[in-house]
Amino acid sequence: MTRRVTSQEAAEILGVSRKTVERRIKSGQLSATKEGRRYIVDLPDEPEEEAKSRQQTGDDSKDVRLAAALAELEAVRSERDYLRQQTDNLSRNVSELTVTVFRLTETLALPPPQEAETKKRRTRAPWHRLTSWLSEVIPGSEELEEES
């Protein structure tokens, strides 16, 4: 035997949201007919005890999921605290090494690091090769090379 209820009533009976009921209708898990803009769901009659036990089972599964989520949260917090401690230790080490490097440079009286000097390359005009070739081929073209 089935009873016909709206999608909102079905959601309350099943302990889910109205959207979930509509998804179940579209996937074929629930049978329903559309009247106007709303669904009328065909729910099988079940004793009140079964409905209550189903709702309690849903609540129990929520409690289990909540407990698992809280345990996961505690593990993440523990890992965060560990990583913060490691970061603090590394920061202290970097500070100590920086002080040591400055003391060593003062003790050894090393000059500060300088940038490498770059050689300035003499750039020639693009026609330089042409004029040098011309001086070899055409006598008296040395004046052209001197001008460039």
Residue 146 resides in a domain = no
d(CA 85, CA 77): 12
**Domains identified in the chain, total number:** 2
- Tell me the residue range of the domain where 79 lies: 52-101
Residue 9 CA to residue 21 CA, distance in Å, equals: 10
2 shares its domain with 40: yes
pTM confidence score: 0.34
* pLDDT tens digits, 79-138: 999 999 999 999 999 999 988 888 887 887 766 666 555 555 556 666 666 666 667 767
Domain membership flag for residue 132? no
pLDDT digits (tens, 9 = 90+) for 67-90: 888 888 888 899 999 999 999 999
Read off the pLDDT of each residue in 9-33 and give the average, rounded to a whole number. Answer: 88
Q: Are residues 33 and 59 in the same domain?
A: no
- The DSSP secondary structure of 40-99, one letter per residue, reads EEEEEP--HHHHHHHHHHHHHHHHHHHHHHHHHHHHHHHHHHHHHHHHHHHHHHHHHHHH
